[in-house]
Amino acid sequence: MHEYTGYTGQSLQFLKSNEVAVGNSVKIIADLTFFGIIMPRYEHSDDKHIVLKLNSGYNVGLEIEKIKQVEKLTTVEKNIEENEKVEKNPNLPKILLLSTGGTIASKVDYRTGAVTPILTADELNSSVPELAEMANIDTQVLFSEYSENIIPDHWIEISNKLVEYSNSDYAGILIAHGTDTMHYTSSFLSFALAGFPIPIALVGSQRSSDRASSDAALNLIGATKFLVECKTKGIYVVMHNDESDETIACHLGTRVRKNHTSKRSAFKTVGENPAYLIFKEKILKNTTKDFFTSKEFNPKINLDSKVALVKYYPGYDPNLLEKIIEMGYRGIIFEGTGLGHVGKTMYDTVKKAQSKGIFLGMTSQCIDGRISMTVYESGRDLLDLGIIPLENMIPEVALVKAMWALGNLKETNDIKEIMLCNIASEIS
């Protein structure tokens, strides 16, 4: 905590001239007399108030204009207690918990007043004592980012870190991740780390861990139970199955989507039941196939982020597509209508893209269901223009896969081939 966090202009001047700072216990005389602790101020606030945490625990803003006197009180400095170290039991399996940030690791941020990812993996671990009963958990913070701030470079960073542990004695690896883009990350890991010998579970939460009703604890417990008991490989997203703190759903990392802005059960496997359901006493398996097609672990951690996801809509201006071509993009994934269509107005530009050797793939904005471009005439036209129908791949997954394919392969035909080759259950 900075001494004057968030205070600017008049309010900063006010604190300095009264020789008090954030964290000080003070007596303030205004229209009434107040006792409390000076708290940080949020960045979007004005410079005419100071924030005081009253002894009752309430925070209030006091107008500096009305303050007659500020008196600093001597108090015993509060030592924030250390986290209790979790005792390890040598008979339990080992699990690695990597933290990347997100709501699951969030608490109040004095910059904006909203929550920010700053809890460490260690804190996370010690706040859910049930974890220590199932496994010995080592923790590591990779970075602390909300998932909307995660970029493909982060995917590479996570992948490289995971490769370091591919030969380790960990029974499984937990990745604490923000939920907004969790399925993009899980997709990239699925392709880049195909065949990874240890199961990996991405875990997030829809309610931050600083609230008593957080879903984080049960998601972590469910994911840990899964990793310890599942005896399988793959990249999974593990979250609440419904609004109850009861059943945890384990989704294939390439078949999952965030389908609700705020519910605990926001994540859904598209068109299927979740691969596993985790209950308190048992794990229910809904899948028969292996997650990875290949049994070998052969990491390919490269990508080319010059791939665009284009959602077609009535009246889409083909000039937008022109721009994408001009900008040197190497791949375009269409999120077409219905079975996989874009309007006639697009044909010329699509032809142009094709002639430049840009990879063109078709997915559907229906999200669920397979692309079928031979049913209607427009679909056949588009096939002739060289658009590849990407089966029932989820648009975001197709985007990530194309980035990965372009990063690792040069020949257009190889790229087309690998896009249609099922690597990590992305096509079902």
Q: Which residues are known to be catalytic?
A: 103, 179-180, 258
Q: Is 63 in the site for other proteins (CB under 8 A)?
A: yes
Residue 100 interacts with other proteins (CB under 8 A): yes or no: no
Minimum CB distance to other proteins smaller for 29 or for 420 = 29
Q: Does 209 bind other proteins (CB under 8 A)?
A: yes
Smallest distance, other proteins to C-beta of residue 80, A: 4
CB of 95 to other proteins, least distance (A): 20
Interface residue with other proteins among 42, 143, 297, 376 (CB under 8 A) is 42
CB of 325 to other proteins, least distance (A): 40
* By the rule CB under 8 A, 51 interacts with other proteins: yes
Specify which residues 37 forms β-bridges with. 25, 53
Size of interface with other proteins, in residues (CB under 8 A) = 48
- Residue 428 interacts with other proteins (CB under 8 A): yes or no: no
Q: Which of 17, 19, 56, 413 binds other proteins (CB under 8 A)?
A: 56
Residues 64-83 that bind other proteins (CB under 8 A): 78, 80-81
Phi, psi (degrees; rounded to nearest 5) at 350: -60, -40
Query: Can you tell me which of 8, 29, 46, 375 binds other proteins, judged by CB under 8 A?
Result: 46
Nearest approach in angstroms of CB 57 to other proteins is 3
Window 104 to 123, contacts with other proteins (CB under 8 A): 108-109, 113-115
Q: 219 or 425, CB closer to other proteins?
A: 219
Is 127 a binder of other proteins (CB under 8 A)?
yes
Scanning 49-57, 90-98, 300-308, 345-353 for contacts with other proteins by CB under 8 A, the matching segment is: 49-57
Site membership for other proteins, residue 246 (CB under 8 A) = yes
Binding segment toward other proteins, per CB under 8 A, in 13-21, 44-52, 146-154, 156-164? 44-52
Which of 33, 286 has the CB closer to other proteins?
33
Residue 337: beta bridge partners?
A: 341
Which of these ranges, 227-235, 249-257, 262-270, 290-298, lies near other proteins under the rule CB under 8 A? 262-270
Smaller CB separation from other proteins, 6 or 152: 6
How far are the Cα atoms of 348, 356, 359 from residue 352, in angstroms, in the given order?
A: 6, 6, 12
Q: Is 207 near other proteins (CB under 8 A)?
A: yes
Tell me which residues touch other proteins (CB under 8 A).
Answer: 31-32, 34, 42, 44-46, 49, 51, 53-63, 78, 80-81, 108-109, 113-115, 127, 207-214, 217-218, 242-246, 261-264
